[in-house]
């Protein structure tokens, strides 16, 4: 499998009080079109990841909205898998090219979370969990991940300091990323002493509420050199599911969907985990990055904390994780995150990641999760 990325575009992630969803999506899409040096009319289809525009802004049918605003009349498909919507949009864009029906595809992700129409953002986000068996009983996403964290601490001795190190590292990386919502560094003490949200997770263990959009131009591999001297190729794509409800799973500390999606993607790419030079993983909460590094195989189960203690996941470490700043510092506009992750890997592989550029970047990975792990999508990128 081989599909090329020939263009990327992203808005500033943060609170956009002066821009609505369509404006954010158009900005990201237009930047990607310009980066790819194509015309809008070259695009065959649009895949847009969006989780909950219906509840956030009363607007469904957002892919057609974006297509119409771009002046196009091509197939426009919104895909949704909660916070993995962006990763799924990327995957469906890839499959549509492999199907032979499309040559060039615009893959976007967008979410406007601050214009909340009804109830609370926390309530709306619980649409990603099991409404009848989790939300109804008062669970929230911080509390779901707090249970994962407590169990991880119990089973493997993972510490609060190790979780805090995820936030500190990702804020450092985010301070080097102009698109990030937070550009400031934080300390372990600040994480540990910030407001308690769901014991043991404090405010600085949690990714924020964010508006933003991101876009990629995908192209049939054989056509890539026509548009750019510096294409990046997607060589593996895996997606897997699990029960929506956390309590239905075999384990609280492994996301089986991540394990399975990664196996599929590695096999398709013809690589092992040791070939991966860097990864953007789904750190919606600090514990989630620890669990992800284990489930993706960057260390043994239970040793995600140790990986942080060793500095292995820092910019100059053995396996840099979330060089963009992750969901934690770049922000988490839920439907856009999976596409943003891909952009970071593309920039690293092109050597355009500026102050956060890592050395010898040849193979990168993205890992996007929906809910507490009911969906996981893994992609492998290569120069």
Which residues are at the interface with a copy of itself (CB under 8 A)?
20, 51-55, 57-61, 63-65, 67-68, 72-82, 88, 91-92, 94-96, 98-101, 118-119, 123-124, 126-132, 135, 239-245, 248, 256-257, 260, 370-371, 374-375
Choose the catalytic residue: 152, 171, 332, 367. 332
Up-side HSE of residue 130: CA atoms within 13 Å toward CB? 15
Which one, 158 or 372, has the nearer CB to a copy of itself? Answer: 372
SS3 289: helix
For this structure, is 282 an active site residue?
Answer: no
Which one, 90 or 167, has the nearer CB to a copy of itself? Answer: 90
Minimum CB–partner distance for residue 282 and a copy of itself (Å) = 14
Minimum CB–partner distance for residue 75 and a copy of itself (Å) = 4
Minimum CB–partner distance for residue 300 and a copy of itself (Å) = 23
SS3 174: helix
Whole-angstrom distance, CA of residue 283 vs CA of residue 207? 7
> CA distances (Å), 333 to each of 48, 218, 260, 325, 327, in order?
13, 22, 25, 14, 9
Whole-angstrom distance, CA of residue 142 vs CA of residue 287? 11
Dihedral of alpha carbons 35, 313, 238, 79, sign? negative
Minimum CB–partner distance for residue 239 and a copy of itself (Å) = 4
Which one, 60 or 190, has the nearer CB to a copy of itself? Answer: 60
| Residues 219, 104 contacting (CB under 8 angstroms) | yes
The alpha-carbon radius of gyration of the chain (Å, integer) is 19
Choose the catalytic residue: 83, 206, 219, 299. 83
Which one, 27 or 35, has the nearer CB to a copy of itself? Answer: 27
- Cis preceding-peptide flag for 179 (omega within 30 of 0): no
Residues forming the active site: 83, 332
């Amino acid at each position: 499998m081989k599909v090329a990325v020939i263009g990327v575009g992203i808005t500033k992630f943060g609170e956009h009080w002066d821009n609505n969803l369509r404006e954010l999506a158009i900005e990201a899409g237009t930047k990607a079109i310009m980066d790819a040096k194509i015309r809008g009319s070259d695009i065959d289809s649009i895949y847009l990841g969006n989780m909950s525009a219906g509840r956030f802004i009363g607007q469904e049918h957002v892919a057609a909205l974006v297509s119409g605003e771009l002046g196009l009349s091509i197939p426009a498909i919104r895909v949704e898998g909660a916070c993995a919507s962006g990763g799924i949009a990327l995957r469906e864009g890839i499959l549509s090219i492999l199907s032979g029906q499309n040559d060039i595809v615009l893959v976007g992700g967008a979410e406007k979370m601050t214009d909340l129409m009804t109830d609370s953002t926390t309530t709306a986000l619980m649409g990603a969990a099991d409404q009848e068996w989790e939300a109804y009983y008062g669970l929230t996403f911080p509390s779901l991940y707090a249970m994962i964290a407590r169990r991880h601490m119990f089973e493997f001795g993972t510490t609060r300091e190790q979780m805090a190190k995820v936030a500190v590292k990702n804020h450092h990386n985010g301070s080097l990323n102009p698109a990030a919502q937070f550009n400031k560094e934080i300390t372990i003490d600040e994480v540990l002493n910030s407001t308690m949200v769901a014991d043991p997770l404090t405010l600085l263990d949690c990714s924020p509420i964010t508006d933003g959009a991101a876009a990629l131009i995908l192209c049939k591999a054989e056509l890539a050199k026509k548009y750019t001297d510096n294409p990046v190729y997607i060589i593996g794509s895996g997606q897997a599911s699990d029960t929506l409800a956390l309590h239905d799973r075999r384990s609280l500390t492994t996301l089986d969907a991540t394990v399975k999606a990664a196996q599929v993607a590695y096999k398709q790419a013809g690589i092992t985990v040791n070939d991966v030079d860097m990864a953007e993983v789904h750190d919606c909460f600090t514990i989630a990055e620890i669990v992800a590094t284990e489930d993706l195989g960057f260390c043994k189960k239970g040793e995600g904390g140790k990986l942080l203690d060793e500095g292995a996941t820092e910019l100059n470490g053995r396996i840099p994780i979330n060089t963009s700043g992750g969901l934690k510092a770049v922000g988490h506009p839920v439907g856009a995150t999976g596409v943003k992750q891909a952009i970071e890997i593309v920039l690293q592989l092109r050597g355009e990641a500026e102050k956060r550029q890592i050395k010898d970047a040849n193979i990168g990975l993205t890992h996007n999760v929906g809910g507490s792990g009911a969906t996981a999508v893994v992609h492998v990128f290569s120069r």
